[in-house]
Amino acid sequence: MSVTEVHHLNCTTFRLRFARTFDGQRKVFDSQLNCVTHCLLLETSDAGLVLVDSGFSSLDVQDPRRVSPIFHFVFRPPWKPEETALAGVHALGLNPKDIRHIVFTHLDYDHANGLADFPWTTAHAYDLELQAARSGPTLRDRLRYNRTQLRMHECWESYSGEGGDRWYGFQGIRPIKGLDNDVAFIPLLGHSAGHSGVAVRTAQGWLLHAGDAYMQVAELQPTPEGPAHTGLFQTIMRNDGKALQGSLARLSELHRDHGNEVQIFCSHDETEFDLLLRHK
């Protein structure tokens, strides 16, 4: 199998509350962020279509009550029908039934609710993430995941974080079953219990979808004053602050040492999304 085409989809635009951007003197100059929900649609040589994350669903657009009230409060999405993975596939002239796999960086509402539009697919996630999403005991677990939907989906492949391969200094790499070594989980723990990046090998080099390991690209270029962006949202939602800092440090090293070989991007930075869309 090989990845023959990569499409960048925005599966919901929103403004993130509780986000603060700082200048070099640590002064706030913006209290909100314009965000996208960056998903990938991969065309492959012999494994059909593959989604990396799925955003919100067409059912959410029709009935936003399906989404946790905390997401309404924090995100305030406009619920545009054209900003769903399902609509994006149709807009490209492709058949949604050809999507065979959805690979999730993590299972928060804004990343996994689109699964409802593709019930026939095989869904892939780290086992720790799937366990937390289905039955995690904390209030944060109950608020961040659509448990009913995730439990109802019939076909899951889960992956252990133990052992695994190496990739640019990262350990515990897990190739996605059915996709050879061209799509793989890269452990980026901290934001959620089993958060990961998803690496995609293309003819032009590697892409790394870093999920919510960071929120703005400036965070990959730390300064003595600290990262350019910080947010109360990340503080509230993170599962393990120390692990999240470690993941960001590893991403910063990868960006510094191998930025010409690996294109890194996160889920919600609209600048990154627009740049990749223009240079596709």
Q: Does the pLDDT value for residue 227 go beyond 90?
A: no
| Tokens found for residue 42 | 């991969």
Question: Looking at the domain 3-278, which fold is it?
Answer: Metallo-beta-lactamase; Chain A (3.60.15)
Q: Residue 1: its pLDDT value, please?
A: 80
Summarised one tens digit per residue, pLDDT across range 158-190 is 998 777 889 999 999 999 999 988 999 999 999
Spatial contact of 98 and 90, defined as CB atoms under 8 Å apart:
no
| Tokens found for residue 111 | 């990343």
Three-class SS state of 218:
helix
Question: In this structure, how many other beta carbons lie within 10 angstroms of the beta carbon of residue 229?
Answer: 19
Q: Mean pLDDT in the chain?
A: 89
Question: In this structure, how many other beta carbons lie within 10 angstroms of the beta carbon of residue 71?
Answer: 21
Q: What's the burial of 15, exposed, middle or buried (CB within 10 Å: 0-12/13-18/19+)? A: middle
Summarised one tens digit per residue, pLDDT across range 26-76 is 444 455 678 899 999 999 999 899 999 999 999 999 988 888 777 777 777
Q: Does the pLDDT value for residue 122 go beyond 90?
A: yes
* d(C-alpha 99, C-alpha 63), whole Å: 24
Q: What's the burial of 62, exposed, middle or buried (CB within 10 Å: 0-12/13-18/19+)? A: exposed
Q: Does the pLDDT value for residue 224 go beyond 60?
A: no
Could you identify the residue written with the tokens 């677990």? 141
* Mean predicted confidence (pLDDT) in 76-94: 93
* d(C-alpha 155, C-alpha 102), whole Å: 11
The region of weakest confidence among 18-22, 54-58, 73-77, 229-233 is 18-22
| Tokens found for residue 52 | 């990396």
Q: pLDDT band at 21, cuts 50/70/90?
A: low
Residue 20: closest CA among 242, 228, 180 = 228
φ/ψ of 54, rounded to 5, equals -135, 0
Q: Residue 29: its pLDDT value, please?
A: 46
* Mean predicted confidence (pLDDT) in 226-231: 53
Q: Which helix (H) or strand (E) holds 243?
A: helix 241-258
Q: Residue 26: its pLDDT value, please?
A: 47
Q: Residue 279: its pLDDT value, please?
A: 78
Summarised one tens digit per residue, pLDDT across range 183-216 is 999 999 999 999 999 999 999 999 999 999 998 8
Strands (E), the chain: 3-10, 14-16, 19-22, 28-30, 33-35, 38-44, 49-52, 99-103, 122-126, 156-159, 165-167, 170-175, 183-187, 196-202, 205-209, 229-231, 262-265
